[in-house]
Structure 1
Amino acid sequence: MKLHVIIPLCALLTLTQQTPSRDVNCRCELTHSEKAFPHDKLSTAEDSASKCNSNVTPQKTLELESLLLGLERRVPQLQEDVSVLEREDDGQLYSVLSLLVVENELLEIKQLINRLNRTMLAHQWLTTNTTNELDDLRAEMQELETYDTMQVVKRQQDNQRLKRDLDKCMHGLQPTTQPTQPPHGYCPHGQFRNVTGPRVYTAGEYPGSYAYGAWGRDPKPEAGKENFYWMVVLTSGNKFSNYVRFYSSLSALIVGVSTPGNIQIHSSNPTTNTIQGPNVVLYGGALYYNCYNQDAVCRFNLTTKAVTTLRLAKGTRFNSKGNFCHLDDCYLFTDLDLATDESGVWVIYTTTQDFGYMVLSKVEEPLALGQTWRTSVYKQGVTNTFMACGVLYATRYVNKDTEEIFYSFDTTTGVERFNLGIFINKMSPNIYSLNYSPVDQMLHAYCNSYMVSYKVLFL
Structure 2
Amino acid sequence: MKLNVVILCVLFTLSQQAASPEKCVCELNHSQRVFPHDKLQAAESNVTYCNSRITPQKTKELESLLLGLERRLEQLHKDMSILEAEDDGQLYGVLSLYIIENEMVEIKQLVDKLNSTTLGHKHLTADTLLQLDDLNKEMDDLQTFDSMGVVKARVRIKHLTANIDICRATVNSTVAPTQPSYGTCPYGHLLNVTGPRVYTAGEYPGSYPFGAWGRDPKPDAGKRNWYWMVILTSSNIYAHYVRFYSSLSALIIGVSTPGNVLIHSSNPTTNTIQGPNVVLYGEALYYNCYNKDAVCRFNLTSKAVTTLQLPKGTRYNSKANFCWLEDCYSYTDLDLATDESGVWVIYTTTQDFGNLVLSKVEMGQEMMLGQTWHTSVYKKSATNTFMACGILYATRFVSKSIEEIFYSFDTATGKESFNLGIFINKMSSNIQSLNYSPVDQMLHAYSDSKLVSYKVLFG
TM (norm. structure 1) is 0.63
Equivalent pair of 2:86/2:92 in contact (CA under 8 Å) = no
1:92-146 deviation digits (Å, cap 9, x = unpaired) = xxxxxxxxxxxxxxxxxxxxxxxxxxxxxxxxxx99x959949989x9679x8xx
- What is the aligned partner in structure 1 of residue 270 from structure 2? 272
Per the alignment, residue 254 of structure 1 pairs with: 252
Who is 1:212 aligned against? Answer: 210
User: Quick check: 1:441 aligned with 2:436?
Assistant: no
Gaps of 5+ in 2: 1-69, 118-181
Q: Does 1:392 find its partner at 2:397?
A: no
Aligned partner of 1:221: which letter?
Answer: P
Shift of residue 259, structure 1, vs aligned partner: 1.9
Taking the aligned partners of 2:209 and 2:292, their CA distance within structure 1 comes to 23
State the partner residue of 1:25. none
- Give the structure 2 partner of residue 7 of structure 1: none
- Do 1:195 and 1:422's aligned partners in 2 also have CA atoms closer than 8 Å? yes
- Which SS does the other structure have where 1:403 is aligned? strand
1:226 aligns with 2:234: no
Amino acid at match of 1:217: R
- The answer as to whether partners of 1:286 and 1:299 remain within 8 angstroms in 2 is yes
- Select 1:350's aligned residue among 348, 351, 368: 348
**Residues of 2 paired with 1:132 and 1:262: CA distance?**
44
What SS is found at the alignment partner of 2:369? strand
1:214, 1:189 → 2: CA distance?
26
Distance 1:431 1:440 in 2: 20
The match for 1:314 among 308, 312, 330 is 312
Conserved? CA contact 2:83–2:92, under 8 Å: no
Structure 1 residues 276 and 60: alpha-carbon distance in aligned structure 2, compared to 1, 3 A threshold: farther
Shift of residue 61, structure 1, vs aligned partner: 6.8
Query: In structure 1, what is the Cα distance between the partners aligned to 2:231 and 2:86?
Result: 44
Q: Hey, what's the Cα distance between the residues in 2 that align with 1:277 and 1:450?
A: 17
Q: Whole-Å Cα distance in 1 between the matches of residues 192 and 390 of structure 2?
A: 17
CA displacement 1:213-247 (0-9 Å, x = unmatched): 00000000011111000000000000000000000
Name the residue aligned to 2:410: 410
| 1:186 shift after superposition | 2.5
Give 1:60 shift: 12
Q: Counterpart of 1:290 in structure 2: which amino acid?
A: N
Other structure's SS at 1:370 match: strand
Q: How far apart, in 2, do the equivalents of 1:130 and 1:265 lie?
A: 46
Backbone CA RMSD of aligned residues: 3.3
Contact 2:362 2:369 survives alignment (8 Å): yes
SS state at 2:361 partner: strand
Q: 2:301 aligns with which of 303, 308, 312?
A: 303
User: For 1:290 and 1:201, how far apart are their aligned partners in 2?
Assistant: 27
Secondary structure of the structure 2 residue equivalent to 1:272: coil
Q: SS state of the match for residue 386, structure 2? A: strand
Give the conservation status (yes or no) of the 8 Å contact 2:340–2:388. yes
Supply the distance in 1 between the matched residues of 2:241 and 2:198 (Cα, whole angstroms): 24
Q: 1:348 to 1:59 in 2, by over 3 A?
A: farther
Aligned structure 1 segments of 4 or more residues deviating by more than 2 angstroms: 57-62, 129-137, 139-142
Q: Deviations over 1:347-379 (max 9, x none)?
A: 000000111000000001121110000000000
d(CA) in 2 for partners of 1:60, 1:340: 35
Matched residue of 2:398: which SS? strand
The residue number in structure 2 matching 1:428 is 428
Matched-pair contact (CA < 8 Å) for 1:276–1:292? yes
Contact 2:240–2:263 at 8 Å: present in 1 too?
yes
Does the 8 A contact of 1:59 with 1:427 survive in 2? Answer: no
CA distance in 2, matches of 1:294, 1:341: 25
Paired amino acid for 1:196: T
Give the match's secondary structure for 2:251.
helix
* Structure 2 letter corresponding to 1:300: F
Who is 2:170 aligned against?
A: none
CA deviations on 1:156-201 (whole Å, 9 max, x unpaired) are 99xx99xx89xx9xxx9xxxxxxxxxxx943111211000011111
CA contact (8 A) 1:59 1:201 kept: no
Verify the 8 A CA contact 1:358 1:375 in the aligned structure 2.
yes
CA distance in 2, matches of 1:131, 1:448: 24
Superposed displacement of residue 441, structure 1 = 0.4
Which residue identity is paired with 1:383?
T
Listed one character per residue, the Cα deviations across residues 288-326 of structure 1 (whole Å, up to 9, x for unaligned) are 000000000000000000000000000000000010001
